Chains A and B, each alone.
Chain A
């Protein structure tokens, strides 16, 4: 090598500045990286490995990283970057654009917003919510939308990472321990998930746990990449996981292997129910004026029916009966015939002997028995991920998994629990929306206001825990907010009514059409104030910020483009790249990417550390950060509103709003002009609220790249982890419940396996059960499973040329060898995938690891990567389970990111043939 060439090579890696950054949050890791730059250009990045060991004897988190993060900088200069504001010239989607100035773009958008407010009201301005751009991006559009009184579609209702079964059981969905807690497990069940692909930064804890002596079992239909790191692979017929879990429960109960005290104290299984109706015995039945949410058990210690404590799970000498039938006299003299939930459960489980369930699941009964014995005798953790919620009956699968853990004492102790989602309480972010001005005095004022409100609620229910009251408070806040479960928007405005009314694709437990259930639920006021825009309000402006609905929309891209798009006056997309959705915009506003802006990543607690990004380089072209975009848009709306005289209006709740001060309101009179000021404020406020340790300021994050959370804070999403964070211990969710007896935020204050709501009873889903996956898409022989691919999570890294070089670079479906042979399909051929919903074409890989009758299509491919620009969502109707329309039943009520109807995209049936 010549000296000049060597110098060029060396110069390539010579950097001037090193900053910390993280990337997408899609796998929930928010990995800290060091980003090296020179002359305002990012040269490369590398995993930072800044985590200190938390607990002696437990491996540290380092290095949290994956190939996507390590190649992130390639995307900064990707050919599909959006560099300038653009206006559509031709038809929507034609790809014809004209470059315009920021002022022109903002003026056009501002005028459209003012018009929308004038014509249809602010709720006709709809934001597709996202978590992709990080907290600052989210804060920007939520602040803007909140000031307008617009509609924000709940992200979890769009992407369906909502584990409904967790919520039904525990009253919350944030149940995951820190990822290093896996090391404490004696039995790790990789169940319905594929962490070897989807959790690359922290899947190593499974392997390390295995070295440590834990047994790893992978339960999946196919011999998945995660089966490679398991001791035992249990192949299961797709979507029969509930049957497997219930069979294990049956063995554990009948063999007497259950943890009696845990069942008695933690679950609703000892509670009394009416023998005939299967409904709970409630307070007003025994005592006039008693609380409706007072439940009862038969205490063998006293030989009498007693009120089950609502304020504590501790038994305190009680011995609630599990078995038996009981009689009581109602206050009106009626004789009541009672039994326990436990008895109902045993009766239900009689249908789930290993032999019977084995027939359903395709698993040898002895394997089921053996697994059950293991779960009963070992500290067991289920690594679940977000695959299960995407099945129509995913809630039943999760409820059955939770039951298995509940019977065996497997939550609240190190190495136990179910690993899905966990939201940390970055309370500074929560407080931000409530503060009128910046500064600690205002923070304390708000915090004390929150505490006063909680204490006010406590007077209504003195036995409620802080967590329960936090949810109560959040519930009240939601009523005044902009959030809306998107299922209603899709139903009324996006053409899903006919799809969801398709009986053949729905659950057999329905006695009416989906539409009738919707009417019933809304008529009863279960979703009062949350159906936005209402059926009679035409959506006017759609704002899409850092998300890609045209790619992922269940039902295919045409569903939105044919039903919603024609009704919209303006489609505004804030994006950093020309995504499938950006292509369909009227106005494109180019956004900065990670590395080009300061940010905190969404507060996910898998690592229990804050994800932090410092700006390493300026945004490409004329791109701006979301904060800058919405700040400028606020100012422009203010300016145009004053010019047009539209300065005041009433929002959907008849609250007065002002446009002539919008710009000042957005920045709180200039206090939040700079993004770093906002981040600094969030961090300092989080310290005040106790979620971050003292000193975890922006300056400290710049030095160290991350900071470990020190507490769960004061708000419900964080508190739901229910665990004290010790500086030298891994974090185990539900410790407060299991060790301290703090009640669950459910109707019964216990992990609740009986849902005695009439709709659940009607559907025979009051208790967990297995139901066959509906024939979604029609009667076809192949069952589609999916998940994140190895190379990208969603479409974020799909255009990365380095990553594209590491795989075939185009969409891929994986078909079992026997199915391919039967259809005369060879590896590498293009095939047509079709069902009654639609069709698309994809190249196929033939693999013996896929079970007969299964077809795997990992998701994240952009439509343009498919022939005819039709992707795998073309065959996904996106069916919504009707029972999730239930609300105002104890804990089954809407909460942001939580309980709501969500679309299923897995488990559709298709046929595959040569294209």
Chain B
């Protein structure tokens, strides 16, 4: 059972969808994006638990076992003595606030684009055209990495459940366009985590997300071109 939920976004009309999805290449990608969106979010207790246990690599591999392309998720962990609060603090330092002059690796795509307002407008339009709006309950901006990954998850979900082949193709093209035009800033995110004092676990998070998105973009481009 896939219970559909979105971080930072809400489905127009308000109702969340809940339905059985068969395991296939699309839902494998969907599952990976869902897991990556969690990794890109402020770590909660469950995320912390899996991070300490070093289970994230295995969880991602399991979610993506039907992926239509090869991808090695690797793995990383945090020290057993790290508390959930300490993991959150490091996440906030690296990705959200920083200490001097902002975070070394902000998670907001617009900050890498030059004109953040325009970037925000573009992603919001993207969301709206595909049936989503930003959620008032979630304070994360529309260009937050977790939100953008959630959007990719949503597009995969819509592709998986659409009754119309044309609509499926449309959602595939949307994935291609979003990957090509919006999620292009991740190498810079990775660069930002490569400073000496970023925890290896967070470097792995950034690197894994960036690497997977790049691999998925290549795959989707190939599918669309075909």
B185 to chain A, nearest CB (A): 14
Q: Considering the chains assembled together, what is the distance between the CA atoms of A676 and B121 in angstroms?
A: 10
Given contacts A694-B176, A697-B177, A699-B181, contact A444 B166 (CB under 8 A): yes
Q: Considering the chains assembled together, what is the distance between the CA atoms of A115 and B131 in angstroms?
A: 39
Answer yes or no: A757 CB below 8 A from chain B CBs: no
Q: Are the C-beta atoms of A439 and B131 separated by less than 8 Å?
A: yes
Q: Which of B122, B129, B180 contacts A440 (CB 8 A)?
A: B129
Q: Are the C-beta atoms of A687 and B173 separated by less than 8 Å?
A: yes
Q: Are the C-beta atoms of B166 and A448 separated by less than 8 Å?
A: yes
Given contacts A439-B128, A695-B181, contact A447 B173 (CB under 8 A): no
Q: Are the C-beta atoms of A680 and B173 separated by less than 8 Å?
A: no
Answer yes or no: A436 CB below 8 A from chain B CBs: no
Q: Which of B118, B130, B180 contacts A695 (CB 8 A)?
A: B180
Interface size on A, residues (CB 8 A): 23
Given contacts A695-B181, A697-B177, contact A438 B166 (CB under 8 A): no
Query: Hey, which chain A residues are within 8 Å of B129, CB to CB?
Result: 438-440, 680-681, 684
Answer yes or no: B174 CB below 8 A from chain A CBs: yes
Which partner residue on chain A sits nearest B123 by CB separation?
A699
Q: Are the C-beta atoms of A694 and B125 separated by less than 8 Å?
A: no
Given contacts A680-B129, A694-B176, A695-B180, contact A440 B166 (CB under 8 A): no
Cβ < 8 Å to B, chain A residues 695-735: 695, 697-700, 702
Answer yes or no: A364 CB below 8 A from chain B CBs: no
Q: Considering the chains assembled together, what is the distance between the CA atoms of A75 and B121 in angstroms?
A: 30
A678 to chain B, nearest CB (A): 11
Interface centre among B12, B129, B174 (most CB of A within 10 A): B129
Answer yes or no: A78 CB below 8 A from chain B CBs: no
Q: Are the C-beta atoms of B167 and A444 separated by less than 8 Å?
A: yes
Q: Considering the chains assembled together, what is the distance between the CA atoms of A278 and B224 in angstroms?
A: 55
Q: Considering the chains assembled together, what is the distance between the CA atoms of A676 and B129 in angstroms?
A: 12
Query: Hey, which chain B residues are within 8 Å of A259, CB to CB?
Result: none
Which partner residue on chain B sits nearest A439 by CB separation?
B131
Answer yes or no: B75 CB below 8 A from chain A CBs: no
Residue interface bits B164-188, CB-to-A below 8 A is 1, else 0: 1011001101101100110000000
B143 to chain A, nearest CB (A): 13
Query: Hey, which chain A residues are within 8 Å of B173, CB to CB?
Result: 687, 694
Q: Considering the chains assembled together, what is the distance between the CA atoms of A677 and B122 in angstroms?
A: 10
Query: Hey, which chain A residues are within 8 Å of B176, CB to CB?
Result: 694
Answer yes or no: A688 CB below 8 A from chain B CBs: yes
Query: Hey, which chain B residues are within 8 Å of A671, CB to CB?
Result: 128
Q: Considering the chains assembled together, what is the distance between the CA atoms of A680 and B167 in angstroms?
A: 18
Q: Are the C-beta atoms of B128 and A438 separated by less than 8 Å?
A: yes
Q: Are the C-beta atoms of B131 and A440 separated by less than 8 Å?
A: yes
Q: Considering the chains assembled together, what is the distance between the CA atoms of A702 and B118 in angstroms?
A: 10
B17 to chain A, nearest CB (A): 13
Query: Hey, which chain A residues are within 8 Å of B167, CB to CB?
Result: 440-441, 444
Q: Are the C-beta atoms of B177 and A694 separated by less than 8 Å?
A: yes
Which partner residue on chain B sits nearest A447 by CB separation?
B166
Q: Considering the chains assembled together, what is the distance between the CA atoms of A677 and B121 in angstroms?
A: 10
Q: Are the C-beta atoms of B177 and A440 separated by less than 8 Å?
A: no
Query: Hey, which chain A residues are within 8 Å of B131, CB to CB?
Result: 439-441
Q: Which of B125, B164, B181 contacts A448 (CB 8 A)?
A: B164
Query: Hey, which chain B residues are within 8 Å of A684, CB to CB?
Result: 129
Which partner residue on chain A sits nearest B132 by CB separation?
A439
Q: Considering the chains assembled together, what is the distance between the CA atoms of A702 and B129 in angstroms?
A: 18
Query: Hey, which chain A residues are within 8 Å of B177, CB to CB?
Result: 694-695, 697
Which partner residue on chain A sits nearest B166 by CB separation?
A444
Q: Are the C-beta atoms of B164 and A677 separated by less than 8 Å?
A: no
Which partner residue on chain B sits nearest A671 by CB separation?
B128
Which partner residue on chain B sits nearest A443 by CB separation?
B170
Residue interface bits A656-689, CB-to-B below 8 A is 1, else 0: 0000000000000001000011001100100110
B145 to chain A, nearest CB (A): 19
Query: Hey, which chain B residues are within 8 Å of A444, CB to CB?
Result: 164, 166-167, 170
Query: Hey, which chain A residues are within 8 Å of B128, CB to CB?
Result: 438-439, 671, 677
Query: Hey, which chain B residues are within 8 Å of A677, CB to CB?
Result: 125, 128
Q: Are the C-beta atoms of A699 and B122 separated by less than 8 Å?
A: yes
A901 to chain B, nearest CB (A): 40
Query: Hey, which chain B residues are within 8 Å of A702, CB to CB?
Result: 118
Query: Hey, which chain A residues are within 8 Å of B171, CB to CB?
Result: 440
Q: Considering the chains assembled together, what is the distance between the CA atoms of A684 and B173 in angstroms?
A: 11
A850 to chain B, nearest CB (A): 54
Given contacts A447-B166, A677-B125, A681-B129, contact A440 B181 (CB under 8 A): no
Q: Considering the chains assembled together, what is the distance between the CA atoms of A700 and B177 in angstroms?
A: 11
Which partner residue on chain B sits nearest A681 by CB separation?
B129
Q: Considering the chains assembled together, what is the distance between the CA atoms of A441 and B125 in angstroms?
A: 15
B97 to chain A, nearest CB (A): 29
A451 to chain B, nearest CB (A): 9
Q: Considering the chains assembled together, what is the distance between the CA atoms of A712 and B130 in angstroms?
A: 24
Q: Which of B130, B166, B181 contacts A439 (CB 8 A)?
A: B130
Query: Hey, which chain B residues are within 8 Å of A687, CB to CB?
Result: 173
Query: Hey, which chain A residues are within 8 Å of B12, CB to CB?
Result: 439
Q: Considering the chains assembled together, what is the distance between the CA atoms of A700 and B126 in angstroms?
A: 13
Residue interface bits B117-144, CB-to-A below 8 A is 1, else 0: 0100110010011110000000000000
Query: Hey, which chain A residues are within 8 Å of B166, CB to CB?
Result: 444, 447-448
Q: Are the C-beta atoms of A440 and B125 separated by less than 8 Å?
A: no
Q: Which of A440, A448, A700 contacts B130 (CB 8 A)?
A: A440
A100 to chain B, nearest CB (A): 34
Q: Considering the chains assembled together, what is the distance between the CA atoms of A758 and B167 in angstroms?
A: 49
Residue interface bits A433-455, CB-to-B below 8 A is 1, else 0: 00000111101100110000000
B117 to chain A, nearest CB (A): 12
A35 to chain B, nearest CB (A): 17
Residue interface bits A471-492, CB-to-B below 8 A is 1, else 0: 0000000000000000000000
B116 to chain A, nearest CB (A): 13
Residue interface bits B188-226, CB-to-A below 8 A is 1, else 0: 000000000000000000000000000000000000100
Q: Are the C-beta atoms of A688 and B224 separated by less than 8 Å?
A: no
Which partner residue on chain A sits nearest B119 by CB separation?
A699
Q: Are the C-beta atoms of B170 and A688 separated by less than 8 Å?
A: yes
Which partner residue on chain B sits nearest A700 by CB separation?
B181
Q: Are the C-beta atoms of A440 and B170 separated by less than 8 Å?
A: yes
Query: Hey, which chain B residues are within 8 Å of A443, CB to CB?
Result: 170
Q: Are the C-beta atoms of B125 and A698 separated by less than 8 Å?
A: yes
Q: Considering the chains assembled together, what is the distance between the CA atoms of A76 and B176 in angstroms?
A: 40
A694 to chain B, nearest CB (A): 6
Which partner residue on chain B sits nearest A696 by CB separation?
B177
Query: Hey, which chain A residues are within 8 Å of B164, CB to CB?
Result: 444, 448
Q: Considering the chains assembled together, what is the distance between the CA atoms of A517 and B121 in angstroms?
A: 57
Query: Hey, which chain A residues are within 8 Å of B224, CB to CB?
Result: 694
Q: Considering the chains assembled together, what is the distance between the CA atoms of A334 and B16 in angstroms?
A: 72
Interface centre among A447, A699, A702 (most CB of B within 10 A): A699
Which partner residue on chain B sits nearest A451 by CB separation?
B166
Given contacts A444-B166, A699-B181, contact A680 B125 (CB under 8 A): yes
Q: Considering the chains assembled together, what is the distance between the CA atoms of A447 and B166 in angstroms?
A: 9
Query: Hey, which chain A residues are within 8 Å of B174, CB to CB?
Result: 440
A684 to chain B, nearest CB (A): 5
Q: Considering the chains assembled together, what is the distance between the CA atoms of A455 and B118 in angstroms?
A: 42
Q: Considering the chains assembled together, what is the distance between the CA atoms of A440 and B173 in angstroms?
A: 12
Which partner residue on chain A sits nearest B174 by CB separation?
A440
Q: Considering the chains assembled together, what is the distance between the CA atoms of A695 and B171 in angstroms?
A: 13
A20 to chain B, nearest CB (A): 14
Which partner residue on chain B sits nearest A702 by CB separation?
B118
Q: Could you show 10 A-B contacts with beta carbons less than 8 Å apart?
A: A440-B131, A440-B174, A441-B131, A443-B170, A680-B129, A695-B180, A697-B181, A698-B125, A699-B122, A700-B181
In addition to A440-B174, A677-B128, 6 A-B residue pairs with Cβ atoms within 8 Å of each other are: A440-B129, A681-B129, A688-B170, A697-B181, A698-B122, A698-B125
Q: Which residues of B contact A (CB under 8 A)?
A: 12, 118, 121-122, 125, 128-131, 164, 166-167, 170-171, 173-174, 176-177, 180-181, 224
- Which 9 A-B pairs have CB atoms at the shortest separation, nearest pair first? A444-B167, A699-B122, A680-B125, A439-B131, A684-B129, A440-B130, A440-B170, A444-B166, A694-B173
Q: Which residues of A contact B (CB under 8 A)?
A: 438-441, 443-444, 447-448, 671, 676-677, 680-681, 684, 687-688, 694-695, 697-700, 702
